[in-house]
Amino acid sequence: MKTNNIGHGATAYIILVSVLAFCLMADYVPYLHFLSAWVTPPVVLFLGLAFAMFFGQPFPAFNKKASKKLLQYSVVGLGFGMNLHASLASGTQGMAFTIVSVAGTMLVGMLIGVLLLRIPSTASYLISSGTAICGGSAIAAVGPVVKAKESEMSVALATVFILNALGLFLFPLLGRWLGLDQQQFGTWAAIAIHDTSSVVGAGAAYGEEALQVATTIKLTRALWIIPLALVTSFIFKTRGKGIAIPWFILWFIVAIVLNTYVLDAMPAVGNAISSLARKCLTLTMFFIGASLSASTLKAVGFRPLLMGILLWIIVSVASLAYILFI
């Protein structure tokens, strides 16, 4: 029975991915634009989540690799739709709060995790790192430095991933309910949503300017992985541990520079690349959702998830207050 379910899941997986890819590409075919209208990041993420809950994970290794690589390629492609001068302005505006929020999130996270909920310090530190900077990437970078066990890494990654998926659904709805403009929402999403994937997805769902602002600030924020890992090695007194640097951020910057100074006379080229990147990003949402199976939810446990939720609420409210009133 289990084998049949896996077989059916594999078939359904291939069909779903094929249909989504076809509908996305139909946008480039005359008279077929209507086929792509329903394929939005929140809808595709929901399909991935529903698939994982019903069928499990028929291709876990492929799904993990596809979500990671396609996200990176998509982010680089988005750079071809952005201007360097505007991006620097957006990044600078969010820099002041980034410094304060990263340090504050780490401190509050450790207080909630260790003192309030009695979660082991290593797991608390990993969840705080993922919330403070860029989700799974920060956890992957800091984990080896703090000599985290595989079980601690799994719990931290699953906690952040669950909240990351919720953020993609909730933030565009909350942003519209609060009446945030494109700049405000992009800044808020970049600070309060954990992972780059959902930040970009939420920005895309809100608007073009929100997408550019959110992507720029989030990737600028992601560079804080390096100083955080260095400070972590000092706190935990570890030496000789490598730091996992997300090198695709460098190519994202290169893409922006090329679009600003090389392709400025050919805007159609940059627009075509960024358009394809947005479609790849939408497809990435399915792979991300399909990674969140029932077994992942069970593995997290109540206290780490509660810590992640409490810390997420504090960061979201504090960053929103800063954006609206300061």
- Model pLDDT for residues 262-284, shown as the tens digit of each residue: 888 888 888 889 889 888 878 88
Instruction: Please report the pLDDT score of residue 232 as a whole number.
Output: 81
Query: What whole-number distance in Å separates Cα of residue 30 and Cα of residue 27?
Result: 8
Between residues 313 and 216, which one has the greater pLDDT? 313
| Closest C-alpha among 126, 45, 123 to residue 291 | 45
The predicted model gives 200-224 an average pLDDT of 84
Q: Domain ranges for the chain, please list them.
A: 59-325
The predicted model gives 288-306 an average pLDDT of 77
Instruction: Please report the pLDDT score of residue 288 as a whole number.
Output: 77
- Identify the weakest region by mean pLDDT among 53-57, 149-153, 256-260, 280-284: 149-153
Mean pLDDT, all residues of the chain:
83
What lies within 8 Å, CB to CB, of 10 at 6+ separation is 58, 59
The model's pTM is: 0.72
CB neighbour burial string for 15-28, b if at least 16 within 10 angstroms, e if fewer? ebbeebbebbebee
* pLDDT above 90: percentage of residues in the chain: 23
The predicted model gives 59-77 an average pLDDT of 83
Write the pLDDT tens digit of every residue in 153-200: 778 877 887 888 889 889 999 999 999 999 999 989 988 998 887 898
Instruction: Please report the pLDDT score of residue 1 as a whole number.
Output: 46
Instruction: Please report the pLDDT score of residue 127 as a whole number.
Output: 93
CB 54 within 8 A of CB 5: no
What lies within 8 Å, CB to CB, of 183 at 6+ separation is 90, 209, 210, 213
Query: What whole-number distance in Å separates Cα of residue 224 and Cα of residue 99?
Result: 9
- Identify the weakest region by mean pLDDT among 22-31, 62-71, 215-224: 215-224
